[in-house]
Amino acid sequence: MTRVRFATGLHLWWHNREYVIKQKAENRFQLLNESTLQTTWLTEKQLVQSFFAHELTLNNPVENQTIKSYQEADYVQIPDSLKAKAERKEKYIKAVLDQNE
């Protein structure tokens, strides 16, 4: 599961209505209903409970986060020469490790 942070500007769906978090004050969040422009204040606890009760869903929660794991990185743009060099070094290291066993 990805790490979810309730931050200003986050778009979410709560009770089948689209909201955006406009501001945070202590542990309360001001939600703006996108269709009616009415605001609602909810505590962080209420948001978390709604999230785990599947009453609240997030719009693309991972979209703006940076990649922090090499498992999620895309290596397509790495030049072939660098890939070949890395493979050569990996083979050498594996051979040295195998000799020391």
Q: What is the pLDDT of residues 19-44, one digit of tens each?
A: 999 999 988 999 999 889 999 999 99
54: in domain: yes
Q: How far apart are CA 55 and CA 19, in angstroms?
A: 13
91: in domain: no
Going from the C-alpha of 25 to that of each of 14, 30, 65, 82, the distances in angstroms are: 20, 8, 23, 49
- 33 φ, ψ (degrees, to nearest 5): -70, 120
Supply the range of the domain harboring residue 18.
Answer: 11-68
98: in domain: no
pLDDT band of residue 86 (cuts 50, 70, 90) is: confident
**Is residue 69 predicted with pLDDT exceeding 70?**
no
pLDDT band of residue 1 (cuts 50, 70, 90) is: very low
Write down the pLDDT at residue 39.
Answer: 94
Tokens of 23: 């501001």
**Is residue 75 predicted with pLDDT exceeding 60?**
yes
76: in domain: no
90: in domain: no
Element (H, E) at 14: strand 11-14
Q: How far apart are CA 18 and CA 99, in angstroms?
A: 61
